[in-house]
């Protein structure tokens, strides 16, 4: 193996200041090790000074090349062409960085997708709950539509439950019903919340709400 000179190291350092990764002389680092070993055996001041300065230059060369390799790995992750002029050890270093970056990106994406899946499952649960309630159409009908009463239907007489004087004062028309099937909690056209009611339960409700339940055949009017 031919020994390199201090001037060779200086020349490599000078071109390595360029933005792109530069091609090193063949077996550069092995030659540097041999050169340093040879120089350090000499005790003259010139050789020792060259060794001291060469180590500084070599350290800067390594740092510059490492920085360029890391930046090249990042650009490769974005789809750019991998760098050239890598030594064998630098190629392994570059490949390891790319593998680590890909693993980190995949782990981060899995965490984000996992969170999205949790949110999506919660949305599905809400949709299923709404689908279970929707067949009765109690909530939708009671909020949006007033009950349609045909002219031929004779309105039931007002029933006032004993023990509730406030209803007499407010002159609120209510009807006493028997619940025929389980009814979930719902909002009436008066924006009040009613229920839930269980099958067989008795309920005293405003006439408009009672009419909706009766029309849906989930309740029947109780008469004396």
Which positions ≥6 away from 70 have C-beta within 8 Å?
A: 97
> What pLDDT does residue 160 have?
40
C-alpha to C-alpha distance for 39 and 54, rounded to whole angstroms: 11
pLDDT of 138 higher than 50: no
Q: Any idea what the Cα angle at residue 111 is, between residues 71 and 69, rounded to 5°?
A: 10
Q: Are 12 and 22 in contact (CB under 8 A)?
A: yes
C-alpha to C-alpha distance for 147 and 128, rounded to whole angstroms: 27
pLDDT band at 107; cut points 50, 70, 90? confident
Neighbours of 90 (CB within 10 A): 19
> What pLDDT does residue 130 have?
58
Whole-number Cα distances in Å, 144 to 30, 137, 187, 190:
85, 11, 10, 10
Task: Domain 137-221: state its class.
Answer: alpha beta
Q: Sketch the domain layout of the chain as residue ranges.
A: 6-100, 137-221
pLDDT band at 166; cut points 50, 70, 90? very low
> What pLDDT does residue 68 have?
97
pLDDT digits (tens, 9 = 90+) for 17-71: 999 999 999 999 999 999 999 888 887 888 889 999 999 999 999 999 999 999 9
C-alpha to C-alpha distance for 106 and 94, rounded to whole angstroms: 18
pLDDT of 84 higher than 90: yes
CATH of domain 6-100: 1.20.58.2050
Whole-number Cα distances in Å, 170 to 58, 164, 167, 173:
95, 11, 5, 9
> What pLDDT does residue 172 have?
59
DSSP 221: E
pLDDT digits (tens, 9 = 90+) for 170-198: 445 889 999 998 998 887 777 788 888 99
Inter-helix orientation angle 45-77/6-15, to 10°: 30
Average pLDDT over residues 149-160: 47
Who has greater pLDDT, 191 or 211?
Answer: 211
């Amino acid at each position: 193996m031919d020994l390199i000179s201090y001037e060779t190291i200086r020349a490599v350092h000078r071109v390595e200041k360029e933005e792109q990764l530069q091609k090193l002389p063949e077996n550069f680092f092995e030659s540097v090790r041999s050169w340093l070993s040879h120089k350090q055996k000499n005790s003259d001041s010139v050789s020792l000074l060259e060794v001291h300065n060469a180590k500084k230059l070599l350290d800067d060369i390594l740092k510059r090349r490492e920085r360029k390799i890391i930046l090249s790995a990042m650009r490769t992750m974005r789809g750019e062409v991998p760098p050239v002029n890598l030594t064998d050890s630098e190629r392994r270093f570059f490949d390891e960085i790319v593998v680590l970056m890909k693993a980190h990106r995949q782990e981060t994406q899995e965490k984000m997708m996992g969170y999205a899946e949790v949110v999506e499952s919660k949305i599905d649960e809400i949709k299923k709950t709404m689908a279970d309630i929707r067949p009765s159409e109690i909530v939708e009908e009671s909020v949006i539509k007033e009950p349609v009463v045909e002219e031929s239907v004779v309105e039931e007489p007002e029933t006032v439950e004993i023990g509730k004087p406030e209803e007499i004062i407010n002159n609120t028309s209510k009807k006493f019903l028997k619940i025929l099937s389980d009814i979930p909690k719902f909002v009436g056209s008066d924006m009040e919340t009613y229920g839930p009611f269980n099958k067989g339960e008795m309920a005293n409700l405003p006439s408009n709400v009672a009419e909706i339940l009766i029309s849906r055949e989930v309740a029947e009017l109780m008469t004396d």
